């Protein structure tokens, strides 16, 4: 018996979610779903991680965020679900931090992964008088 699970996530941006999956080298495909009456021109984009057993892992857009939908009894990834979510969340957050900080002039100069799995990103922005670093 299979039990599909919808897991609440904090993935709200498709660009950052795709970047995180790419950093983890997890192959996925985009799936467009028409929304509205009579298949209007509006589409949601969901992401599908194919599995060899045909019980794919999906990130479905619910209008606010991407929900992770999976059948835990058919999970065949090389790491546990919790580890997958943690790694993906970390890469997603790193991508958000770097991308958004670059929009206001900061550049990443150093990234360090700690033994506990956390990361430290050092960003720097130069102005005419001096530099400002944020850790």
pLDDT digits (tens, 9 = 90+) for 88-107: 999 999 999 999 999 999 99
pLDDT digits (tens, 9 = 90+) for 4-61: 565 566 899 999 999 999 999 999 999 988 766 665 566 789 999 999 999 999 999 9
CA distance 112 to 27: 25
Number of domains observed in the structure of the chain: 2
| pLDDT at residue 13, rounded to an integer | 95
Its pTM surpasses 0.85: no
Q: Do 32 and 79 share a structural domain?
A: yes
Q: Do 113 and 65 share a structural domain?
A: no
Q: Residue 66's beta-bridge partner residues?
A: 11, 61
Q: Do 33 and 83 share a structural domain?
A: yes
CA distance 93 to 72: 25
* CATH for 98: 3.30.310
Q: Do 72 and 129 share a structural domain?
A: no
Structure token digits, residue 2: 């299979």
Range of the domain at 11: 4-103
Do 131 and 125 form a contact (C-beta atoms < 8 A)?
Answer: yes
| pLDDT at residue 2, rounded to an integer | 47
Structure token digits, residue 89: 């969340």
Query: Which one-letter DSSP state was computed for residue 135?
Result: -
């Amino acid at each position: 018996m299979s039990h599909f699970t919808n897991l609440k996530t904090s993935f709200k941006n498709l660009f950052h979610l795709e970047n995180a999956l790419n950093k983890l080298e997890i192959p996925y495909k985009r799936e467009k779903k028409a929304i509205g009456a009579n298949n209007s021109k509006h589409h949601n984009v969901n992401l599908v991680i194919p599995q060899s057993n045909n019980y794919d892992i999906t990130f479905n857009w619910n209008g606010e965020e991407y929900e992770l939908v999976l059948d835990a009894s058919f999970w065949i990834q090389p790491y546990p679900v919790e580890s997958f979510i943690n790694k993906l969340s970390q890469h997603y957050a790193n991508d958000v931090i770097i991308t958004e900080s670059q929009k206001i002039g900061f550049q990443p100069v150093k990234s360090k992964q700690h033994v506990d799995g956390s990361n430290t990103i050092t960003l720097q922005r130069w102005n005419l008088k001096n530099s400002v670093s944020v850790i």
